[in-house]
Chains A and B, each alone.
Chain A
């Protein structure tokens, strides 16, 4: 008997994972692109083709430009601190001898907690009068902002929650990367006369760079898709100051029932994600050591 699978058997095995991918991913992707050229209202059966006008309107819309700015601020404001803090905590933990697993678990806990529940707790933490955040700021005589209702602070509140949630997760990846660096590399550095900063700069940072790149891409995509915390904490407000592109999409699609404009935003999010991933892969050729 022939031990090799024939072509139909092979296709069958490939089809099983391909079906959900097609149904939930590839087909909706093309449908979205198609919808972005229409003015469908999400409910009625008829629609008209409007060409590029959804895109043109979008680029002229101030709400969109504000959302784009918010998204950039939110992405930069969460990704960079998450990576830096995750790295610092991992390095600190790697110097401990005892309780490492316990502390790692403690720091990792926010990541396995559902964002919705956590956001509700944080909305109480940020309460301007009785919330612990302002109590603490007040104790040190610092200004006590109205975190969630002041348009200058709301985005920072959301950023703080997101960084807090993701740091433990990033730390875990860095911890693993650090354990893979042979001890002798640091011993050589000692003998060669490298101080603490030189060791971090010339050995630690370059040798964890594949992890940094991975976290950068995943966290950036995660930032572009942030929704739960914004929905619970601020609903995009006050005055659109926490409305990111994805939240704008949600509002356009499910509050204003303007599916054409919404899918145009969605397509743009996809394009931005693709461009960012592409750029980071390009940059990585130079700075990431494998």
Chain B
């Protein structure tokens, strides 16, 4: 039998003004138990996708299926989904207990059962001693936990999270990231997590969906997306610092960068201009190779990032911290040829070498 995902979006479009599509012909299948991260810059439409799944925004065109049933016309309250909001959206007039219990109360669960469930969830999240407090007497991290508690207590198998960590300070964000992944393992519920923070996406996701301007750019595991970006947008968006994207000059005998010929593989499709993509960690300062003038050095302790100009282009190279460089120095760098990504200059799409066809399945990494 054909196995459907727990959530399926088919040719979904969303328009607020009936003129331009904020989400354009989106197809996405989310399998049961997956931790899926929708990643994109602000305004890319990732939150809108989440809100359409939740039932907070109507779907302009296309179909949404949850557990095989079409949900377009099902109101949010009947979709049995839990959601955590960016600003937590806690009820300021209710205690922590009442906030967590809210969903159960309006669903007329009996009192003893509510108490039992809320206490269990509170214990899980370390909120037991705060149950009688109001949200305003809690720290940001605690409020965040209450919002999570309200979602967990419902025992639903789909969680939607709309940038839940972005209001927390950097340190707390790291610990919450860990806790959320842990929680996801314990509950084994399907989680869709929206963020613009690629670190969150890389560290938490089973599957990342990169979105820009309402369109899916790439779907894959963190490793796939990092190592084999599908287009120039993904290449530039994922990784910090970003991948070096170097346009090559085309001449009679082939392609060149900074006056040096570059060995290019044969491609499955004929490219219209070439862009070479290489991550900073796959470059090395060396006695030979491509000339570079160092303009700026970022010392992070564990690594140093050497910023320079090569062939009129900015490049970033990661180097080990023990080596000494100085600003203004003229030197050379090399690239690991196995790690180069090739992009078509015209379409921005990734080009696959013809001799070793890339198949997604070989690279799929299974998590947890």
Which residues of A are in contact with B by a Cβ distance under 8 Å? 182, 184-185, 187-195, 198, 202-203, 206-207, 209, 289
Among A185, A190, A203, A206, point to the contact of B76 (Cβ < 8 A).
A190
Measured CB to CB, the closest approach of chain A to B210, in angstroms, equals: 26
Q: Which residues from B are CB-within-8-Å of A195? A: 77, 106
Q: Is there an interface contact between B89 and A187, defined as CB atoms closer than 8 Å?
A: yes
Chain B 79-99 against A: per-residue CB contact (8 Å), 1 yes, 0 no? 111110101010111100000
Please, which residue of chain A has its CB at the minimum distance from the CB of B56?
Answer: A187
Q: Which residues from B are CB-within-8-Å of A202? A: 91, 94, 102, 105-106
Which parts of B233-251 form the interface with A (CB within 8 Å)?
A: none
Q: Which residues from B are CB-within-8-Å of A289? A: 92-93
Q: Which residues from B are CB-within-8-Å of A182? A: 87, 89
Among B54, B77, B81, B89, point to the contact of A185 (Cβ < 8 A).
B89
- Cβ of B171 < 8 Å from any Cβ of A? no
CA of A190 to CA of B89, assembled, Å:
12
> What would 15 A/B residue contacts be, using CB atoms closer than 8 Å?
A182-B87, A184-B89, A187-B76, A188-B89, A190-B56, A190-B76, A191-B56, A191-B79, A191-B82, A192-B106, A193-B78, A194-B77, A202-B106, A206-B91, A207-B93
- Cβ of B107 < 8 Å from any Cβ of A? yes
Q: Is there an interface contact between B103 and A192, defined as CB atoms closer than 8 Å?
A: yes
Among B87, B93, B150, point to the contact of A192 (Cβ < 8 A).
B150
Which residues of B are in contact with A by a Cβ distance under 8 Å? 54-56, 75-83, 85, 87, 89, 91-94, 102-103, 105-107, 150, 154
CA of A209 to CA of B92, assembled, Å:
12
Given A190-B56, A190-B75, output 15 extra A-B contacts at Cβ < 8 Å.
A184-B87, A187-B76, A187-B85, A188-B83, A189-B106, A190-B76, A191-B81, A192-B77, A193-B80, A194-B102, A194-B106, A195-B77, A198-B106, A206-B91, A206-B93
Q: Which residues from B are CB-within-8-Å of A194? A: 77, 102, 106
Measured CB to CB, the closest approach of chain B to A59, in angstroms, equals: 42
Instruction: Tell which of B80, B93, B105 has the most Cβ of chain A within 10 Å.
Output: B93
Known contacts A184-B89, A185-B89, A289-B93, A191 near B106 by CB under 8 Å: no
Measured CB to CB, the closest approach of chain A to B325, in angstroms, equals: 50
Q: Which residues from A are CB-within-8-Å of B79? A: 191
Instruction: Tell which of A192, A203, A209 has the most Cβ of chain B within 10 Å.
Output: A192
CA of A193 to CA of B56, assembled, Å:
12
Q: Is there an interface contact between A203 and B91, defined as CB atoms closer than 8 Å?
A: yes
Q: Which residues from A are CB-within-8-Å of B83? A: 187-188, 191
Measured CB to CB, the closest approach of chain B to A187, in angstroms, equals: 5
Q: Which residues from B are CB-within-8-Å of A209? A: 93
Measured CB to CB, the closest approach of chain B to A226, in angstroms, equals: 33
Q: Which residues from B are CB-within-8-Å of A189? A: 102, 106
Q: Which 3 A-B pairs have the closest CB atoms?
A: A289-B93, A192-B103, A184-B89
Q: Which residues from B are CB-within-8-Å of A184? A: 85, 87, 89
Q: Is there an interface contact between A193 and B77, defined as CB atoms closer than 8 Å?
A: yes
Please, which residue of chain A has its CB at the minimum distance from the CB of B107?
Answer: A193
Q: Which residues from A are CB-within-8-Å of B94? A: 202
Q: Which residues from A are CB-within-8-Å of B87? A: 182, 184
Q: Which residues from B are CB-within-8-Å of A206? A: 91, 93
Known contacts A184-B85, A202-B102, A192 near B91 by CB under 8 Å: no
Among B54, B85, B103, point to the contact of A193 (Cβ < 8 A).
B103
Instruction: Tell which of A182, A188, A207 has the most Cβ of chain B within 10 Å.
Output: A188
Among B55, B80, B93, B107, point to the contact of A190 (Cβ < 8 A).
B55
